[in-house]
Chain A
Amino acid sequence: GAVVSQHPSRVICKSGTSVKIECRSLDFQATTMFWYRQFPKQSLMLMATSNEGSKATYEQGVEKDKFLINHASLTLSTLTVTSAHPEDSSFYICSARRQGSYEQYFGPGTRLTVT
Chain B
Amino acid sequence: GQQLNQSPQSMFIQEGEDVSMNCTSSSIFNTWLWYKQDPGEGPVLLIALYKAGELTSNGRLTAQFGITRKDSFLNISASIPSDVGIYFCAGQLGNEKLTFGTGTRLTIIP
Task: Report if B21 contacts A (CB, 8 A).
Answer: no
Contact: B40 with A111, CB < 8 Å? yes
- Among B92, B97, B103, the one with the most A-chain Cβ atoms within 10 Å of its Cβ is B97
Tell me the interface secondary structure of chain B in the complex. loop
Q: Judging by beta carbons under 8 Å apart, are A106 and B42 in contact? A: yes
A binding-site residues for B, Cβ under 8 Å: 4, 6, 34, 42-46, 49, 59-61, 91, 93, 95, 97, 102-109, 111
A102 touches B42 (CB 8 A): no
- Pair count A-B, CB < 8 A: 49
Interface size class of B (residues with CB under 8 A): 20 to 34
CA distance A44 to B42 in the complex (A): 10
Contact B103 A46 (CB under 8 A): no
What's the least CB distance linking B96 to chain A, in Å? 9
CB distance from B54 to the nearest CB of A (A): 16
